Structures are given as C-alpha cells and as structure tokens.
Amino acid sequence: MFKKVLVHARRGIKLIILFMIAIFLIIGAVAFLYKPTYSVFINGEQVGYTANKSDLQHRINEYVDHGDGTNKNVAFVQVNELPEYKLCLLKRNIVTNDEEIFNKVTEQGIPYYRYYAILEDQEEKYYVSSFEEAENVVNTLKDKNSENIDKISILEKYETGIKDMVSVDEVVSKLYVEKKTAVKVAQNTSSKASGYVNTATTTSSGKASLGISLIRPISGTITSRFGARSSIRSSAHTGLDISAPSGTAIKAAAGGTVTFSGWKGSYGYMLVISHGNGVQTYYAHCSKLYASVGQTVSQGETIAAVGSTGNSTGPHLHLEIRINGVAYNPQNYLY
C-alpha cells in the first residue's frame, strides 16, 4: 500500500515539474516573440505604440509648458486631447512610433503668448515682451518726471496671437509728456487728479503683491491655464483648473472671511473667501460646500469638495485669485 502511494506521489511530482517546465517554455516563447509596450490612444482612436510612456509623456508635457522653443514669448500650449496609454504585448517585429504620436499631439496645440501691455488711462498703448522691459518703461517715465506717470500701468496678457513688440526707448519717447510749469493759484487742496489707480503693487517677478502667503488648495494636474480660450467658455479663462477625483477635500489657500457660498451660474457651486486688502480667492465647480457666508476660516481648513457642477466637463477645482475684482494668474503664486 505504501509503495503504491509513493509511486502516485512521484508521478504527481513529475507532472507538476513537467507543467512548470511547460509554463516556463510558454513564457520564454512569448518573451521571444513579443515585447511589453503601450498602445496609445487620442480621443479614443489608436494612434500607435510606445515602449516608454514616461519619456513620451515628459516630452509632451515639456511642449505644453514651454512650446517648441522657437518663440520665447510662448507661455504655454493648449492641448485639448492628451494621449491615453494601455499596456499590451506587441510582436517584436512591429516598431513603435513615438515621433508620429508626438506630432499628432502637437499639431492640435494652440500656443498662448505672454506679453505685457503698457496702458495709459486703462487703454492699451504699446506692448513689450517681458516684465523687466515694462518696468523699465515705467521707471524711466518716473525718472523723467513725465506728466502722465500716474496714468501709466502694466497688464500681463495671454493671447493666441502675438502683438507687435516695441522697444523700451520707443515706448518712453511716445508716452513721455513734459511736466507743465505749475501756476500758483488758489485751489481746493483736497481735490485729486482723476485717473486709473492700481492698488495692487507689483514685484520684480511681474506678479501683483498679495500681501499674504498662499498654500495650494488641492494637489492635482493642471488641465486649463489662466488666459486659455475654449469652446466651452465665451471669454479667456480667468483662473486655473486643477483636475482631482470628485470629493477631494479643498483647503482654504489663506485665512479669511467667506463672502459667498452657493450656486453661481456657470461656476456651479462656488465659495469665495475675502482675505483683506481687496484680495479674494474663488473655488468653483464644487460638489459640496462646507463653509457659509460670514464664517471665518483658517488657512488649510477644509472648505469644500471637488466636483463637476456648472459649466464643467469633469471633476476639477476652478481656482481664481482676484485683487480689487481683477483676476490674476494663480500659477504665479501657487502651481
């Protein structure tokens, strides 16, 4: 009886060994004939294969963030359809086509140019390519004691078409107004010259000074940038869209008082926090709002949850930073 059991056991072991050998042979054959790779899809259509999706996506991200490098004024490139990747086994004699995939992504890209408008009495007069040049214009006009210096301001702009740029010297020569000799007459000392007063100061980096420090409300992927245009909105984007799963907690970027909490048309469920000195942060397309009007919130406190309410194509946070009602690029401060 014992011998029969031993014989069956040995046969069983042999079968297991043979089975394992067969498995290894099959794996070896598959590895010899096929290679692991990624099938790439754009807008649901297969466009090719890549052996290294990280390298390909990094190259695409660099293009989205900086353009193709031919124009230094490109702020970013709007790409509406980014590739999706699915792991698969590909026959070794089939080649990947990273370059073709990259070209398909970039051919739909819309470059947005950043430049700086020099305004006089809120009217755009001339354009320069950098904030340093714009600042030089203002400082030179101040040094020359130009009559209209109080009416001169700088506006950072993002558009799909680039403006004709003018040199600093040319802008100064065209905007300079010689100071009139003052005539001493009786007048009401309390009166002030009319003109545009920009209460937001600017720093050497070209962004308005908020007077407060901000933290990121959520972590996520930027899907639409400040100034971008799209078929789903009627004007340039006034904020930053950060993609995140629905229900993700949204933190207050800074402490302040809630001045709006509710439904706001295309914004969907939105919450607004006022931080003093005209500074406000907007949090839109939320699924839930946890703070009410008049409530004081602390920096980092959970105030809402990510959603897709209002004019939205998917769960994300639409974040705005406003100073005296004027929208500024949140990416300059946070992301």
CA contacts within 13 A on the Cβ side of 180: 4
pLDDT in tens, 280-326: 999 999 999 999 999 999 999 999 999 999 888 889 999 999 988 88
**What are the respective helix, strand and coil percentages of the chain, to the nearest 5?**
25, 35, 40
Give this prediction's pTM.
0.48
Q: Are 166 and 126 in contact (CB under 8 A)?
A: yes
Could you give phi then psi for residue 110, rounded to 5 degrees?
Answer: -115, 110
Average pLDDT (55-67) is 87
Q: How far apart are CA 309 and CA 265, in angstroms?
A: 9
77 pLDDT higher than 90: no
- Give the tokens for residue 184: 């001493």
Q: What is the pLDDT of residue 3?
A: 60
- Domains of the chain with CATH codes: 34-108 (no CATH), 113-175 (no CATH), 221-332 (2.70.70.10)
* Burial of residue 93 (number of CB atoms within 10 Å: 0-12, 13-18, 19+): exposed
Q: How far apart are CA 125 and CA 70, in angstroms?
A: 26
Average pLDDT, the chain: 82
Average pLDDT (167-174) is 92
Most confident of 90-94, 154-158, 172-176, 191-195: 172-176
For residue 210, give the 3-state DSSP assignment. coil
* 1 Cβ contact partners less than 8 Å away, ≥ 6 residues apart: none
Q: Are 276 and 256 in contact (CB under 8 A)?
A: yes
Q: What is the pLDDT of residue 91?
A: 76
pLDDT in tens, 226-282: 877 665 455 678 889 999 999 999 999 999 999 999 998 888 999 999 998 889 999
